[in-house]
Amino acid sequence: MLAELKSKFLEQKRRPAAKNVGGKSTLHFDLLYQLSYMSVIAAAGVPRKQIFERSAELPCASAEYFKRVELMCRRLKYDYAKACRVVGESTREEEVKGLLLRFSSSLSSGEPEADFLSREAEAQAKAYDSDYGSKIESMKMWTDAYVSLILSAVLIIIIGIVSTLVWEIDTAFILGLVVVSLMTTALGVWLIYLMSPREVVVVRQAGSREQRLTRKMFRMIMPIGVAVCAVLVMRGTNLGWGMIAAAAALFPVGWVSVLDDKKVAQRDSEVGSFLGSLGGVCAAIGTTVKEALGRIDLDAIAVLRREVKRLHARLYFGLGTRLCWREFIKETGSELTNRSVGMFYDAIDLGGDPQQAGYRASLFASKISVLRSKRKTVSSPFRWLCITMHASVVALLVFITEVMAIFGNMLYEATREMPNISGSVAATGLTSFNFQGLELLRTMLMPLVIVFTVSDAIAPSIADGGSRYKVLYNLGITAGITGVSLLGLPSLAGILFNSVQM
């Protein structure tokens, strides 16, 4: 029986605990939370068994490793030191492996869990700070690289457009230019995805009023927008009208999501100081959280004032304490609030020192909030740079292609009106122009413009992080720019040539 259980465990532990995408995941972010939580509840003086049981239940990727440790101790009757060593030796992630092996050594030596976990939490916070900062610096360089790649892709297409009017170009070469441009654009988006920090910002289930409104609008407006776009495409309407219809459907949903993201960031910046103050008041007057909230001047709270007042009202009317805190987290819509409040509440619920619990929860929340603020200093300018670049790139492509197409048609008409001098040098030069290649490039312009529209919306959303619905805000803007360009610039080019002919 023991051998069978061990075999099942070994089979389970070979499975990856966290989904790594492009060599990156939220494991570093989860591990910082895991160690901060464990240090808080360990400081409350709870038994070792309870520390591992609580840690295994946390909603993060790193909890899977502690779940394996707890499973080995419960099923295979290992002690925690040996279980940590076995799990650590079989783990692929070097950071987790080192942590578990150090934890095993600490448990074997008899060192108190609280001392070890407090030291590891501080070390992990410094490592996470350094790693996050280096990723932000890398993201600065790769956002510049993305702009260069997009401009290079556009330059390739412009060279192809001009070349079709100079000499005969094979169709395969023209298609090759388009494929290279598409691959260059995709490479730029992938690089931004690879270099951006990975973290969880909003709760998985819609919590705040804006998050619920975003999902409701997405479910109601998106089907209508897709149906309208499909009808326009099937009727052969100009693609510009389809882009404008898509922008009208996407932008309101994205705007509400961006508004929620700003509010979540403001709440995250204040939740740390709130928990620290609450823990300090609890320790100072030796009372419960419910009574401590009554002693705090709630009107002095800037961003979380409404949520904290509702929390105080629910606690005052005798509702379940855990339920009140859960509703507080739901109203903020923040995963950082969820994790910091969770470690604060659990530490007090287990009999820990409120001041110490508030201090550690505040330290965790403030650290993450400051790092995210630094990230915003890079991602926010990059968003508007992408939107400005998209307007320039699409306008340039559409206008140049339309001008060349009109010019090519004028040359084609000119060759048809010169039958008597068809053997002359001028006529031979005119008929050598590749009108078919130009028409092919004009046709391929539509998928290229669509790809640029999508990529210039996705790249800044990846760099900024947060809710996935935020991409609809950027996509609504880029689609609107594309639609206006496709509708207005061909007419402008026609007016330009009509004025020349006159």
Cα–Cα distance list, 160 to 450, 476, 488 (Å) = 19, 29, 23
- Are both 282 and 241 inside the same structural domain? no
- Are both 98 and 148 inside the same structural domain? no
End-to-end CA distance of the chain: 95
Residue 492 domain-assigned?
Answer: yes
What per-residue confidence (pLDDT) applies to 447? 85
232 touches 487 (CB < 8 A):
no
391-425 burial, b if ≥16 CB within 10 A, otherwise e? bebbbebbbbbbbbbbebeebeeebeeeeeeeeee
- Are both 253 and 275 inside the same structural domain? no
Residue 48 domain-assigned?
Answer: yes
At 267, the amino acid letter reads: R
At 175, the amino acid letter reads: L
Q: What is the DSSP letter of 44?
A: T
Q: What is the DSSP letter of 202?
A: B
Q: What is the DSSP letter of 14?
A: T
Among 95, 111, 127, the domain-final residue is 111
How many structural domains compose the chain? 3
Residue 359 domain-assigned?
Answer: no
The CB density around residue 11, as the number of other CB atoms within 10 Å, is: 9
CA–CA dist 174, 178 (Å, integer): 7
Tell me the chain's radius of gyration from C-alpha atoms: 30
- The two most distant CA atoms of the chain are separated, in Å, by 107
Residue 335 domain-assigned?
Answer: yes
Among 71, 89, 111, the domain-final residue is 111
For the chain, 502 residues long, give each residue's pLDDT as a single digit of tens.
444 444 444 444 444 343 433 333 578 888 989 999 998 888 888 888 888 888 888 888 888 899 999 888 888 888 889 999 999 888 888 888 999 999 999 988 888 888 899 899 989 889 898 889 888 988 888 888 888 888 888 888 777 777 766 666 666 777 787 888 888 888 889 989 888 888 888 888 877 888 888 888 888 888 887 788 778 777 777 788 888 988 998 999 999 999 999 999 999 999 988 988 888 888 888 878 888 888 888 878 888 888 888 988 888 888 888 888 999 999 898 999 999 998 898 888 888 888 888 888 998 999 999 999 999 999 999 999 999 999 999 998 888 888 777 776 776 666 666 555 444 444 444 445 556 666 666 777 888 888 899 999 999 999 998 888 999 999 999 999 999 998 888 888 777 766 555 5
- Are both 224 and 276 inside the same structural domain? no
Strand partners, 24: 21
Among 90, 111, 132, the domain-final residue is 111
DSSP string, 48-87: HHHHHHHHHTSSSTTHHHHHHHHHHHHHS---HHHHHHHH
- Are both 233 and 279 inside the same structural domain? no
Cα–Cα distance list, 194 to 20, 22, 453, 458 (Å) = 11, 6, 20, 13
CA–CA dist 180, 163 (Å, integer): 16
What per-residue confidence (pLDDT) applies to 407? 73
Closest listed residue to residue 185, CA positions, set 443, 9, 390: 390
Half-sphere exposure of 450 (CA within 13 A, CB side): 10
- Are both 447 and 481 inside the same structural domain? yes
Q: How many residues comprise the chain?
A: 502
- Are both 83 and 224 inside the same structural domain? no
Strand partners, 21: 24
At 477, the amino acid letter reads: I
How far is C-alpha 133 from the geometric centre of its chain's CA atoms? 17
Determine which helix (DSSP H) or strand (DSSP E) holds 24, and give its type and residue range: none
How are the residues of the chain apportioned to helix, strand and coil, as percentages rounded to the nearest 5?
A: 80, 0, 20
- Are both 446 and 485 inside the same structural domain? yes
Residue 357 domain-assigned?
Answer: no
CA–CA dist 194, 59 (Å, integer): 24
What per-residue confidence (pLDDT) applies to 497? 67
- Are both 166 and 248 inside the same structural domain? yes
- Are both 273 and 408 inside the same structural domain? no
pTM over cut 0.85 = no
**Which SS3 state, helix, strand or coil, does residue 21 take?**
strand
- Are both 167 and 310 inside the same structural domain? no
- Are both 389 and 494 inside the same structural domain? yes
CA–CA dist 157, 161 (Å, integer): 6
Cα–Cα distance list, 422 to 285, 417, 431 (Å) = 102, 10, 9
The CB density around residue 321, as the number of other CB atoms within 10 Å, is: 16
Residue 101 domain-assigned?
Answer: yes
Joined tokens for residue 338: 């969820």
The CB density around residue 8, as the number of other CB atoms within 10 Å, is: 12
Q: Which residues contact 211 (CB under 8 A, 6 or more apart)?
A: 202, 203, 257, 260, 333, 467
Range of the domain at 311: 269-352
404 touches 493 (CB < 8 A):
no
